[in-house]
Structure 1
Amino acid sequence: MTEAGREIEKLLALHPKGFDLSLDRITRLLSALGDPHKRLPPVIHVAGTNGKGSVTAFSRAILEAAGLSVHVHTSPHLVNWHERYRLGRKGGRGEFVSDPVLADAVRRVAEANGGEHITVFEILTAVTFLLFAEHPADVAIIEVGLGGRFDATNVIERPAVAVIMPIALDHQAYLGDRVELIAAEKAGIMKKGAPVVIGQQAEDSAREVLVATAERLSCPHAVYGQDFLAYEEFGRMVYQDEFGLFDLPSPRLPGRHQFANAAAAIRAVKATGLPVTERAIERGLVSVEWPGRLQRLTVGALAKAAPASSEIWVDGGHNPGAGMVIAETMATYEERDPRPLFLIIGMINTKDPIGFFDAFRGIAERVFTVPIRASDAGIDPVALASDAMEAGLRAEAVSSVAEALHAIGRLVEEDAVAPRILIGGSLYLVGDVLADNGTPPT
C-alpha cells in the first residue's frame, strides 16, 4: 500500500463511512486550513447523475490542448486514491498527484481537523482544495461527489461555470425519489450571476427545475437542445450554438451519448472565457481519455483469460439511465459487427439492479453475476442473478470475473463468432478489473 493509502486507511478507521450531507464540517475544516477554496484558479464545477465524468474528461482534454494547465478532481477512484487529484502542468498533460505530496496533504488536513466529527469524503475534499490552492494552474475542474447543494465541494463561492449533466434516479435515500427533487439538489451548485450550462436532460421536469433555478439566480444559462447542440453527420460531429457552428471530428469516447457530453464540455469551456480555439477543441475530442467508461480491454491478464478474439468492454455505469446508454451502445456495435453479448455484472446494494438489467433485455445472451471485493455493500451474486432473471435475462452467479470469463469460454464453441463481453455495474468492480488486468488509470 502507498504512503497516502495508509494515511487514508487510518482516517477510514476513525471516521464514519458513507455520506452526511452538510457544509458545516467542511467549512470549519477549511477555515482551520486558511480557506484554500478561496485561492483557486477559475473553477468548472460539474454535477449530474450521469455524464459528469465524461464532460470533465472532455473539458480537461480541450483545455490542455489549448496549452492550459488544468487541475482535476473526480471521485470515486478506480484503483488508487491518487486518481482523485490530477495536478495541471503548463503546456502538457496533467498528472496524478505524487504519493509523498498526497500523503503530506492528507496528514495536514487530518491534523487541522483535530479529531472532530467528519466524513472521510469531506477530508478528501479539503485535500483537493489544499492541493489545488498550493499548486498554480490556469483552471480547475471539480466534480461533485453526491448531489450538489450539500456536497462538500459546494463551498466554491463563484465558479467560472456550473455544469449540470443528465439527471436520473440515483441515491434516492439522500436526494429524493423524483427526478425534479434530485434536480433541485444538483442545481444547488449554481451561484448568483455565475454562468450555467445545462446538459441534455431525458426528463422535462428536471430541465424545468434547472432552468427555473438559473433564472431565479440571474445566471446566464445555456440549455442543450435550445442554446447549443451536437449531432453526427458524415462520421463527424457538428457542434452549434448561438455563436456559430463547428465541423469537428467525432469524439474519441465511444457511444452516441458522447456527442451531447462533448457539446456540454465545449459550451462550458467557452463560458469560462479562457482562450480556447476551434483547433484546441478538435484536438481535445480526439485525445480525450476516461478510464472505466466504455473502455476496451485489449491487453492484460483478464483479456488473455477471455476466449480468443473476444471484444471486452468495461463500464462503471450503475443506474437505469446508464444501463440504457450502455445497452444502446452495445446494440450499435451489434449492428456493425454481430457477436453474442455476455454481461459480467457486480453491483452494490444502493442501486436498482432490475432497472439496470432491463435495458439489456433482448440483446444480452447471458449474465454472469460476481461479488465486489472493494466494497462490503456488494449485492450477493445469487440475489443479483435473481434480479437479472426478473428482468427477463438468463443469469448465473459465479465467484469471480475470471470464472465468468472461463464460463463464457465453455459456452462459445471454437468455430463460433468470438463474443462481446461487457464487465460493469459498479465502479468498484471496474476498479478491481483494471487492477487485476494490470491496466490501472494513468
Structure 2
Amino acid sequence: MEWVVVVSVLVMTILSLLRVNVIIAIIAAAITAGLMSGLSIVEAIEMLVSGMGGQANTALSYVLLGAFAVAISYTGITSLLVNYLIRVLTGKKTMMLLAIAGVASLSQNLVPVHIAFIPILIPPLLKLFDDMKLDRRGVATALTFGLKAPYIMIPAGFGLIFHGIIFEGMETNGAAVSMSDVAIAMLFPGAGMIVGLLIAIFVTYRKDRVSTPGAGGTEVITEEVNRENVSFNSKHLLTLIAIIAALAVQLITGNLILGALTGLLLMFLMIVVPFKQGDKVITDGISMMGTIAFVMLVASGFGTILSETGSVDALVEVSSGFLGDNKIVIALILLLVGLVVTIGIGSSFGTIPILAALFVPICLAAGFSPIAIAVLIGTAGALGDAGSPASDSTLGPTAGLNADGKHHHIWDTCVPTFVHYNIPLILFGWIGSVIL
C-alpha cells in the first residue's frame, strides 16, 4: 500500500514525458492507484469521478476568470501593455523575462485573474520572442514564478487564502500558530523561488534558442497576431474600476467566483463590453480556460483515490519508520514525501489539509516549533505547483506559449520549472524548518 502513491505518480510522470495527453496520464495514474489499492477498474473510475467535485469551485472560478480576462482584453487595455513591452524591451532578453515575471506576480494580488491573463498577454508577444531568439523555457519559468511566489510570500489575495489554509490545517491538528508566524515561515520557500528565478534568467536561459515548429503537438500557426495601436481612454478607466471592484470583493469574501462575477457584471453594466457580446465573452472564457479547469477536476479525482484508499497515510507511516529523532533527517524526508504527493495531485491549496494531518503529529513528537512546522507544510504544498503536469502554474504558461504550436507542456514548461523551483524550494524549506 505504501508504494501506491510513488508508483501512480511515476505512471503519470512517465506517460507525460512520453507526450501522452495530461488528462489521459492522470486517469491512467488514478486507475493504477485504484488497482494497487484493491479496487476494480470500475470502482477506481467511480471514485475518480466522485472526487472530481473537490475542485469544482476552482474549475468554475477559472472559467469565470477566463471570461473576465476576455472582457478586459475586449477593451484593448491589454494591447497597451503589449505595445509598451514591445517598444521598451525589444532585444533586452533579461529585462523582458523580469517584466513578464513582474506582470505575472500582479495576477495573484493586484489584478486577481490568476492564469487567465496568460492566453491573452503572451500570444501577441510570441513573434517578438522568436525574433529575439528568446528561450521560451525562460518565459515559462518567469510566468510560473509570478503564479507561485506571490501567494507563497504575500498574505493578500491568493496568498491570504494559502496562508489561511496552512493556519487552519495546523490549528485543526493541534499545532498553535499565528497568521504572522505563517507569513514569516513562508519567506523561506519564497526566497528559494527568487533564487530559482534569478538562476533561470541570468544563467540557464540567456543563450539564443529557436523554437521548433510543431514541438507543442498542436497545429502550427504562422500568421502574426494583430497588435492594435490604442491609447488610454474612458473604457480603460472603467475597466480598471471593474478590476479594483473584483479584487475588493475577492479580498472581502475570500471567494474567487464572486470576485470574477463582480468584475464581469460591472463590465456589462458600465457598457465597457456590449451586452450583446455576453455569449461570446463567456464562450471564449470557457474555450480559453476549459481544458485547464477539466485537468484540475481530474487531478482532484486522482487525489481523492490517493487519500480515500489510505495510500498517502501509508506512505507517511512507512517513511516515519526511517525518521528516528534527527530533525534534519525528518525534515528532508517529509519534504520529499510532500513532493511526491503534491506532484501527483498538482494543487498546492488542495494538498495542504492532507499534509497538515500527516505532518503535524510527526513534527510535534520530534520537537519542531510551530513556525518550523508551517515551513514544512507550506513548502511541501508549494512543491506541487512547479513541475507537475496537472498544476495550473504549468498549464497556464503552456496555454499561452503553445498558441503557435512551438512549445511543449512537459519538456518546455514542467521540466524547467521543476528543476529551477523544486530544488531551491526543498533546500530553503529544509533550512528554514531546522533553524526556526
TM-score category by the smaller chain? under 0.3
TM-score normalised over the length of structure 2: 0.27
TM-score normalised over the length of structure 1: 0.27
Higher RCO (CA-CA < 8 Å; seq separation 6+): 2
